[in-house]
Chain A
């Protein structure tokens, strides 16, 4: 296991990767990616039990599904730096003939990705299916998923939330990135979500909160707590509060950077705030 400083260094390096990836192609979604950097780093380097290499079935290891596929930059960076594919390949993000499509896909055979996502609201159903397959296979590993809070406006989520509780899918940990923002503005203005944790609770989930999803230690502790609550007859939900654009001062406290790339000057400023740690790709 890496120590906390190593993980913190990785967080900063992943932020640099995200910024450089979206800047190069002048497109992509840096805001949500930066907000979830600590979560991805913790999950892939401290929490999940992973095999070496990649196979689609993933029997005998934990699985992760990204439902809000637009935050692909953070997913790709963390996968690459975990060894799923060469870090240099981050250079091909969103370019023609790349395995790093704008939104994640299995179609190009990128190791680490098990389903396409981008059209929102579908990931929890897929994660439930994978969790059910684990139970059928007698595989006691867990399934993790991540969902945007705005994404919960898609109705399919609530079909899935109802199903997972009703069928005691207790090897599933679904995390909601509660950053309170979506493309058109604050979620409370676009379509208020109310108390998301309460909603999961009344549907029958075991719910816990990570108060600061940009505090690496809190994220690790929260994920480990969630892990300890699996296998008890209820699916587990983490409501994780994050700050969109975290780590870059001018990208925080606004929805403006949901799907916008920084200019040359803005990139330089952002990178200054996140000095190179493990080496740029």
Chain B
């Protein structure tokens, strides 16, 4: 199978920070907002280089979302950032009315999504944010897989007019996609061609999907691996082209199986090409404290879980 090399583990939030640094230097309309989590969001360099374009709102996320909406009036491109839990669920109505329904060009940038936030526990580990955001009309939802892709996505969304939810995480994970890649919103990426099963993964689970595919190859199973970094709009064609070849699919995400990538894929399949599907996702539960690896193991979100789901779905073909 296609070989991918980890260029050295890095956190995806640092990819966001690197993207913001570049935008600070190249796009004078980009402004940043943060609700008392500058260090965690890695935007120190942007702030240092463009202090007049940074707005510290304090611990007041609702106000931050409203200010971001207002800043677009006058041509600014606000990147409003905080932890995923506070960037979505806490301010859902502010996003719904002042940003989405008002067609505002706000980029909601959310770190520490999912279980891999780790020790802080379930209060901070949102596993419902993709669902919340994808249900909003007009909202683009992106969950890049590593440092390089998060940096590229951050830069790309500045060029896209309309509200975007960009989701990334806390832990250092494999960084394996190309440096300075061009990021195309809504375009799925074929990582490995295969014939027996399709694995569609997003975010941190993409690397795990590649590890699973490698192990499956050793068992004589040819897995196609697709990186769906954009959950909305979804690349229906890439999904359908693949399952027409393989006849079964496993979706993998660090999110509740209700409302996540898996359900979006299921909708495409049910509508166009009914296909057996297994979901690697949390099972309608909250998380808990632990190390990221422990949590991914306990909640069935790692390469072993993907492998098991593949073996299960193959029997349903």
Contacts and interface: CB of A to CB of B under 8 A. Distances in A.
A22 interface: no
B70 A132 contact: yes
B188 to A, nearest CB: 30
B211 interface: no
B67 interface: yes
B67 A122 contact: no
A168 to B, nearest CB: 13
B63 A115 contact: no
A105 B53 contact: no
Interface string B66-79: 11111111111010
A163 B58 contact: yes
A128 B94 CA distance: 15
Interface stretch (B98-106, B237-245, B258-266, B295-303): B98-106
Contacts of B104: 115
> Which of the listed residues B72, B93, B102 has the most CB atoms from chain A within 10 Å of its own CB?
B102
Given A107-B102, A126-B69, A118 B63 contact: no
Interface in A41-69: 56-59, 63, 65
A136 B70 contact: no
Nearest to A59: B74
Contact of B63 (A136, A137, A160): A160
Interface residues of A, number: 39
Contacts of B98: 115-116, 122, 125-126
Nearest to A123: B66
A136 B73 CA distance: 12
Contact of B101 (A63, A105, A125): A105
A126 B80 CA distance: 13
28 contacts: A57-B73, A57-B74, A57-B75, A58-B73, A59-B74, A63-B73, A106-B103, A107-B102, A115-B70, A115-B102, A115-B104, A123-B66, A125-B70, A126-B70, A129-B68, A129-B70, A129-B78, A130-B70, A132-B67, A132-B70, A133-B73, A133-B74, A133-B75, A137-B75, A139-B74, A156-B62, A160-B67, A162-B58
- Which 4 pairs from chain A and chain B are nearest by CB? A129-B70, A125-B66, A133-B74, A159-B63
Interface of B: 31, 52-53, 55, 57-58, 60, 62-76, 78, 93-94, 96-98, 101-104
Interface of A: 56-59, 63, 65, 105-107, 114-119, 122-134, 136-137, 139, 155-156, 159-160, 162-163, 166-167
